[in-house]
Amino acid sequence: MRDIIVLTAREKIVQYGWRKFTINQIAADLGISKKTVYKYFQSKSEIVSAVLDRFIALEKANALKILESEMSWAEKMQALMGALTPDKPAWVIGELERFFPQEWVKIEDLYKLKRSQTSKLFAKARENGEIRSDIAPEVIFLTISSTIKALHNYKYLGEINLTLNQAVREFAKILFSGILSKKSRDRNQGLYEFSPAGQIPVDDKENDYTRNKIVRVAMEKINQYGFRKFTVDDVAAELGISKKTIYKCFASKNEIISAVVDKYLELEKTGILKALRTEGNWIDKMNLISFSLVPSRPVWVTEELFNFFPQEWEKIYAQRQWRKTIMSELFVKAIENSEIRSDIAPAIIQITVSSTMSIIYDFSNLKRINMTFNQAVAEFLKILFTGILTKKGQGKNII
């Protein structure tokens, strides 16, 4: 009877949610009294816990069956990234996270187990030559983890009106084969090996010559010593001028820092707008827009700006949001021009790009994988456009 109560409760939870299902509903469905239900469960909360425990047990059992099956590694990986039991409405998942945190911990533990299982599958596929060796595995894992985490967010699923498994199937297409249509692949042969765009030269207007030279040298010193440790003396010595001359242009070191950040943002924005006006194909434009258009700074310098100069960091954050909007518009045009596969939901492409770029923007992740921002973006664009599978992998894994 206990198992029957749990199964009935599960149906009611899918129908009404974790909070609104009632013991009266369960009793009525089973034709028993509430008193009988309470012989097996002391409270509604205990029923909720039992339903979740059953769900997790089924997920683990199904995962084991999949790992032991004859499915290809890509099929196994896709299955493990999604839910292995019948799909639940996205809002039911969100309700559990919001209102039952002690139960949600169990779900997080399940996600960790699945990540471990998919990592082992990935390692074997790489050993077998089914995954491209020219893509950094660290960035592949960042792409997978950030996107799957986003897809498990009930708000995303609710907005795009897909179940978790439907969304995962769309993401698997991107991960394994990339988003480019045949038309785009044929037209852009050899353009997928991305390298960071070149530096845009600083424009020294004649009447701002000294000020701009100070900013340029300050940029170099910041890259060398950091925002806090570079000094006005360093800048003056490099330029062969007095500190007094510098203070004619800037009232303080903080004002120099602000000018450096402003110049960096100005160069990036100018470069992006210039890229959008060019006659190049959309992949060229995506390349220019995605990369940093100024010299790559050490990751610790970015971290220092975030930690100690919050007002300046707000400017960086605002421009990143603007850049994401530009990228979204570029994708929409590429979809309209049939440059992107029509069998992939555009919303999943947007989520993949947005979530992965957010992870790459996080300096702590860059420090962990020992890459600059531009290096990580270059690896991600390979995944996004052409997928991670080798020819051998494509032959074995049709997703």
Question: pLDDT tens track of the chain, all 399 residues?
Answer: 999 999 999 999 989 999 999 999 999 999 999 999 999 999 999 999 999 999 999 989 999 999 999 888 888 888 888 775 655 666 787 788 889 999 999 988 988 888 888 888 888 888 989 999 999 999 999 999 899 888 877 777 778 888 888 889 999 999 999 998 887 776 655 544 545 444 444 444 444 668 999 999 999 999 899 999 999 999 999 999 999 999 999 999 999 999 999 998 998 888 888 888 877 778 888 887 887 655 556 777 888 999 999 999 999 999 988 988 888 888 888 888 888 998 999 999 989 998 999 899 888 898 899 998 889 999 999 999 999 988 887 765 555
DSSP result, 211-232: HHHHHHHHHHHHHHH-TTT--H
Calpha distance 107→302 (Å, rounded): 34
pTM: 0.77
How far is the C-alpha of 291 from the C-alpha of 383, rounded, in Å?
A: 15
The residue type found at 234 is D
Q: Where are the domains of the chain?
A: 68-179+344-370+379-399, 187-340
**DSSP bridge pairs for 131:** 389
For tokens 């039992």, the residue is 50
Distance CA 237, CA 7 (A): 76
CATH number of 187-340: 1.10.357.10
- 3-class secondary structure, 323: helix
